Structures are given as C-alpha cells and as structure tokens.
Amino acid sequence: MRNIREWLMITFGVLVYAFAWVGIILPAEGVGGGASGMALLIYYATGGPDGGLPVGTGLFLINALFLIAAVLILGAKFGIKTIYSLILLSVSMNVMQRILPDNPFGLAEYRFVSALLGGFCTGFGASVIIMQGGSLGGTDIIALIVRKYKNISYGTIILIVDVMTIGCSYFIFHDWLTILYGYILTALFSLTADTMLYHSKKLRRRVRLQIKRNTRRRQQKKRAAATATAK
C-alpha cells in the first residue's frame, strides 16, 4: 500500500511540475533553470508557437544525453523512480502543450506573477517527487559528473548551471527583464523546495522518535506485566 502511495505521489508531483512550466511559465515567455529551462530555450529558439520543438520532446532529448553521459563517465545506475519521472514529465509536457489553451490563466501580460507562481509550483512539484525517492535528473547529473573531477559543492554547480541557462535567454529575447524574472523564478523554486524538504525531514524525525517512544513504553509494560505475573 505504501509503495502504491509513493508512485501516486510521484505522479502527482510530476503533473504539478509539468503544468507549472506549460500552463504558467510558458504563456508569459518565462525562462528558468535546469533541464526544463534548457528545453524551454530550445522551444523558443526553434520557433516557439510557430512550430518550435515541443518542450517535452526537448526535455526528453536533454535528459537522454545526460543519462548516457552519466553512464559512460560515472557508470551510474539510476533508480526506476527517476526513469519513470523523466518519461512521465516529457510525455505530460507534450500532452499539456497540445490540450491546454495558450494562456489558461491570463498571465501572458503579468510576467512577474507568472515567475512567482511558476517558481512556487515547480518547487512544490519537485519536492513531492524527491520526498518519495524520485528525481527529475537534469542538472543533478551534471553536478555528479563535475564533482567527479572538481571539488565543487553540489549547490554551487546547480547555481552556476541555472545562471548560465537563464542568461542564455538574452540571445533569444534580448531582454534583461526576462533574465531577471528567470532568476526570481529559480530563487522561489529553491526556497519552496528547500522549505518543504526541510519540514518533511523534520516531521519524519518526529514520527520515528514517537514510534521509538511508543515501542519502548510497550516493552516496559510487558516487562512490568511479566514481573507481576512471576510474583
């Protein structure tokens, strides 16, 4: 039952994450970090609404390249949950891009609001996936490869990749405001994910502690009952 719940939660997290990119960030021509941000840049660079490479397809190709590189360089073995998350994310993004209206929430003219909502929703979706033992791959794989050769922290690598990805949007839009909104989105994504993961970890510790206390109490009662019976 617990295993089924984990898969359902991963599916929910992936769908929230995909919807945030396609339904909230994309209509306002927003940008972001990670593999999803790279896929979005490819979509814009190849024509955008006028026949650009679908975001889900671009994301699948990027993650496929990352996975191949990781296997060749690191010999990494990725869990089935990560593979499932990557495939479902690519498929759901493509499906949503086809069936959703172009501007479902009217955020095309409210790019700041789009960045705030997009950052929160992507952070929420990603943290749900991570809490169930899944992963969205992408820049996580880049961090693993770089750390093999350089003594650079995981967070620093992710930050550098995100800054570079968002910065590259200037060559497409020639707009510094787009870059600023992208950084705001990424900052809120990190804040939301870190907050949820921190409190989730804290809650799990409390639950484990309470279970240990209850177990200890039951054992003490059993010992007391056994002692009383012996007397």
Q: What pLDDT does 13 receive?
A: 94
Domain boundaries, given as residue ranges, for the chain = 2-197
Say if residues 184 and 119 touch (Cβ distance below 8 Å).
Answer: yes
Any idea of the CA torsion for 92, 95, 96, 99, to the nearest 10 degrees?
Answer: -160
pLDDT band for 140, please (50, 70, 90 cuts).
Answer: confident
pLDDT at 100 over 70: yes
If you compute the radius of gyration of the chain from its CA atoms, what whole number of angstroms results? 22
pLDDT band for 4, please (50, 70, 90 cuts).
Answer: confident
Q: What pLDDT does 62 receive?
A: 93
Query: What is the tens place of the pLDDT at every residue in 181-196?
Result: 999 999 998 888 888 8
Q: How far is CA 129 from CA 120, 126, 183, in A?
A: 14, 5, 23
pLDDT at 66 over 80: yes
Give the mean pLDDT of 32-51.
91
Q: What pLDDT does 146 receive?
A: 83
Residues 39-76: b if buried by 16+ CB within 10 A, e if exposed: bbbbbbeeeeeeebbbbbbbbbbbbeebbeebeeeeee
Q: What pLDDT does 156 receive?
A: 78
Of 23, 18, 129, the closest CA to residue 79 belongs to 129
Write the CB contacts of 24 (distance below 8 Å, at least 6 apart in sequence): 30, 105, 107, 114, 117, 118, 121
Query: Quick count: other Cβ atoms within 10 Å of Cβ 85?
Result: 25
Query: What is the tens place of the pLDDT at every residue in 150-203?
Result: 887 766 788 888 899 999 999 999 999 999 999 999 999 888 888 887 877 666
Confidence (pTM): 0.81
